[in-house]
Amino acid sequence: MFRGVGRRLALFNALVVIVIIALTGVVTYLLLLHQLSAEVDHALKASAEQTVNDVRATQPSATTTSTNSSDDEHKHEHDDDEILDSGDTIVFAVDAGGQIIYNPRGISVHGIPNAASLQRALDGEDDIRSLNLSGIGAVRVASLPIEQNHQVVGAVQVLRSLHERDAELATVRWMTLLGVALGVAIAVPAGLLLARRAMRPIDAAFARQRAFVADASHELRTPLTLIRANAEIARQEPAEPVDSIDPELASIIDEVDRTDRLIDDLLTLARSDAGRLELLPVLLDLVLLAQEVYDAMLPLARQLGVDLRFEATPSCMALVDTDRMRQVMRILVDNAVKYSPSGSDVLLSVTCDDARVRIEVRDTGSGIPPEHLPHLFERFYRVDQARSRAAGGTGLGLSIARALVEAQGGTITLTSVVNQGTTVTISLPKPAKIAR
C-alpha cells in the first residue's frame, strides 16, 4: 500500500540531492571561470603595460629585435605549442605601420600576433579577446597602444594560453559529473532503503488498523446474525403468546447488550487511537474505588464458585478518572473470575508507597500458555475463542485496560503460569503534591 509512496518519496529525495550536487557544481564552475578569467586578464594587462614601458624604454634598440631572423624562426617553430601551453605570456610590439618591432622570444606562429586586435590598439583602443588558434587552442589576447606625445606610435600584444584555465575548469566539470553519478549511485538506493525502513512501521500500523476493522466487523456481525435468527423464529409464530418466544426474546436482548458493549469498547479504542480519550482526573482514594468494584463483582464470583477477596492499605491517593479506573478494575476482576474454574481464589489488592499506587488482581485459575502472553494486549486476541465468547468477552478487555492505564500515566503488566494462575499489576504514579 505505502510501498509506491515510499519509492516515489525516495526518488524525489534522490532527485533533490542530485540537483543540489549539480547546482553546486555549476555554481563552482561559474565562479571559478569568472575568477580564473579575471586572473588571466589581470596578468595579461599587467604584462602588456609592462611591455609598453619596456618597448618605450628600449626604443629604438628593441625595434631591432626581429622576427624575421630565420634562425629564430627555425628555433621556435617546433615548440610553439609548448610555449603557449606553459601558461607563459608571449609579447609582441609593432610600430605604427604594423611591423613587428619587438619579439623577445622570437616566436613565429601563424595567426599571432592577432592582426584584428592589434589594429584596434593601433586605433588607440585597448583590446582584450579570446581566440581559438588552430593547432594551439584557446588563447587570451590583450593589445594596448603605445603612445608618445598623444600619438599612437605602435602597439603591444600579449598572448596567454587558456589551456591551464580550461584544464582546471574541466576538472570541476568532471567532478560535478562524478558527483551527479555518485548521487545517482548512492542517493537512489540509500533513499529507497531509508524509505522502506521508514514505511515499515506505517505499513504495520495500517495493517493493524485493517485487521482491527475486519475483526470489529466480524464481531459486530455475530450478534446481529443471532438477533436476526431469533427474530425470525419469533416471527414465524405471530399468533403465539409472548411467553412461548421468551427464550428468543431474551437472547435478542442479550445480543443487543453484547453489541452495545462491543460498540462502547470500539469507541473507547478509537478515541484512544485518535488521542481523544476524554479523561476527568480527580484526586481519588483507589482503595475505596477497589472496594466498590469488589462489592459489585462479588455476586458474579459467588455465582461462578470463585472465592473473591479484597486486601488494601488504609488509603492510596492518585489522580485518575474515576469511571475509567473503575472500568479497568472491572475488566481485570471480571477476567480473573471468568477464566478461573470454580473453587479458585481471586485476590484484588491495592498497596502504595511514596511514589506509586499498585493495584493487583491475582487468581489461582487456569493460567495462560506462554506462547499467548505476548499477544494478550492485542485487540480481539483470545486464548480460547469459544470460551471467551461464551463468558461474554469481546476480546478487547485487556487492550482497553492498557489504553486507559497508559493514558493516565500508568503501566500494566501480566504474568501467568499454566495451572497456577495469572497476575495483572497496574502501577500508577502518585501526584507530586501528595507523594510522601
Interface residues toward ligand ADP, by CB under 6 A: 331, 335-336, 339, 363, 365-366, 368, 376, 381-384, 388, 393-399, 422
* Alpha-carbon gap, residue 352 to 427, rounded angstroms: 9
**Cell output for 107:** 616566436
Give the nearer residue to ligand ADP in terms of CB position, either 148 or 415.
415
Give the nearer residue to ligand ADP in terms of CB position, either 227 or 396.
396
Q: What angle do CA 86, 92, 93 make, to 5 degrees?
A: 160
**Minimum CB separation from ligand ADP for residue 325, in Å?**
16
Give the nearer residue to ligand ADP in terms of CB position, either 195 or 398.
398
Q: What angle do CA 173, 179, 185 make, to 5 degrees?
A: 140
**Minimum CB separation from ligand ADP for residue 355, in Å?**
27
* Alpha-carbon gap, residue 331 to 416, rounded angstroms: 17
Residues 126 and 149 sit within 8 Å (Cβ to Cβ) = no
Give the nearer residue to ligand ADP in terms of CB position, either 41 or 307.
307
* Alpha-carbon gap, residue 195 to 189, rounded angstroms: 10
Count of helix runs (H) and strand runs (E) in the chain: 11, 12
Residues 120 and 144 sit within 8 Å (Cβ to Cβ) = no
**Minimum CB separation from ligand ADP for residue 258, in Å?**
11
**Minimum CB separation from ligand ADP for residue 262, in Å?**
10
- Whether cis (ω within 30° of 0) applies to the bond prior to 341 is no
**Minimum CB separation from ligand ADP for residue 287, in Å?**
22
Taking alpha carbons only, the member of 274, 281, 269, 294 closest to residue 377 is 269
**Minimum CB separation from ligand ADP for residue 265, in Å?**
8
**Minimum CB separation from ligand ADP for residue 290, in Å?**
17
Give the nearer residue to ligand ADP in terms of CB position, either 92 or 339.
339
* Alpha-carbon gap, residue 381 to 261, rounded angstroms: 17
Give the nearer residue to ligand ADP in terms of CB position, either 25 or 365.
365
Give the nearer residue to ligand ADP in terms of CB position, either 103 or 394.
394
Q: 22-25 long-range contacts, Cβ below 8 Å, gap at least 24?
A: 22/176, 22/179, 22/180, 24/176, 24/179, 25/172, 25/173, 25/175, 25/176, 25/177, 25/179, 25/180
